[in-house]
Amino acid sequence: MATCGRLRLIEQGLKTAPFILIRRLASNTSFKAADLQYRFTRHPHAKPENPDECLFGKNFTDHMLAIKWDKDRGWSSPVIKPLENISLHPATSVFHYATELFEGMKAYRTVDNRIALFRPLENMKRMNRTATRACLPTFDEEELMKCIGELVRVDQEWVPYSTKASLYIRPTMIGTEPSLGVNISNSALLYCITCPVGPYFTTGTFNPVSLMADPRFVRAAKGGVGAYKLGSNYGPTIGIQEEALKRGCQQVLWLAGEDHKVTEVGTMNVFIYWINEQGEKELATMPLDEGIVLPGVTRSSLMELGRTWGEFKVVEKIITMNDVIKALNENRLLEMFGAGTACVVCPISRILYMEQDLSIPTMENGPDVASRFYQELTDIQYGRVSHEWSHTVVEDVEGVDAAKNTI
């Protein structure tokens, strides 16, 4: 009976989707990149004429990656298919209980015309940590990295021919069980979409931003989920961002606790470069053990680079707004900047805090450290220097037809 049932399923599958290879039995632990199935678009979209001017997240490529999971059958085979809408039942858990997570990473066209990702395995590890926290299924990190690399290879002509733009990659996982109950979702969809992007901020690349720091608004608290890449961490911040704009600021500096700890800037980690109270030059950022800030890939990269320079201390420590004001008054604060995938490094020039307008001397001081970090990271990302953090997905660009020959 089981065999007959399986044959009926195969027959139905061929009738509904004859262009897709028949799925192998799903693995309970992970999908495999070797099982990738392909369905290419017959209606390719026009690519942006000037990728350097692409608004972040507005123009999407021709294809997407999709992988289904359910509790009984595990992971299905991954599919690269034309970008399309997702049809879900109105009771689907992601709509009601925010059973959703995502990642953010980029593909770069290097100066020698390779296409490379920046430390992609770190994003895969973080995505798995978030999936565990959200009670969504985990996967083999290297297999997803291979699948995403293949998606980039299929849409390789969308990777901008520019060292000021890149292809943004958004892996996402959602709970898809149609059930109105606050429970673990018994089904899920992992998908990935991509889009060419220019500078994240409308002010351009490496231009300073002003921040609103209002302790009435809290992004994350100790013991919460601020350290995870969950959509539920970001939606509630949109209204506060609008409040910052009304007050003449571009971003929000998120504070935590009664002592107003400096945690994150918008969606970025924040760094302070100063002379500490012991008279030492120091680069400091919020520690991860509080569970409040995201363990950013750019964050860890800056810390690792700074330690290799050996020119100042690199530490994780709690810094309060009183510490910032005291350092400003004593002329010890040298630079402040945000760091993240979208902007790389973003200087901070001003903080509006408790009706005080604090001028941060980042740009007046070079900014030597922030600009050096920006230059060294982008040198790695665009292949101006060789580095182990650069992961090549297309060694020799040959066009989209090369991907089709692998099926």
pLDDT one digit per residue (tens) for the chain, 407 residues? 333 333 333 334 333 333 333 333 344 689 999 999 999 999 999 998 888 788 888 899 999 999 999 999 999 999 999 999 999 999 999 999 999 999 999 999 999 999 999 999 999 999 999 999 999 999 999 999 999 999 999 999 999 999 999 999 999 999 999 999 999 999 999 999 999 998 876 666 788 999 999 999 999 999 999 999 999 999 999 999 999 999 999 999 999 999 999 999 999 999 999 999 999 999 999 999 989 999 999 999 999 999 999 999 999 999 999 999 999 999 999 999 999 998 899 999 999 999 899 999 999 998 999 999 999 999 999 999 999 999 999 997 654 444 433 33
The pTM score is: 0.89
* pLDDT given at position 55: 83
CATH of domain 18-201: 3.30.470.10
Residue with tokens 């350290």: 227
Chain region(s) in the chain for CATH 3.20.10.10: 209-361
CATH code for 209-361?
3.20.10.10
Q: What angle do CA 368, 372, 102 make, to 5 degrees?
A: 125
Max CA-CA distance within the chain? Answer: 81
Q: How far is CA 15 from the centre of its chain?
A: 38
What gap in Å lies between CA 103 and CA 342, rounded to an integer?
A: 11
Where are the CATH 3.30.470.10 domain residues in the chain?
A: 18-201
Q: Quote the CA–CA distance of 128 and 64 in Å, as a whole number.
A: 20
Report the DSSP beta bridge partners of residue 394: 115
pLDDT of 26:
40
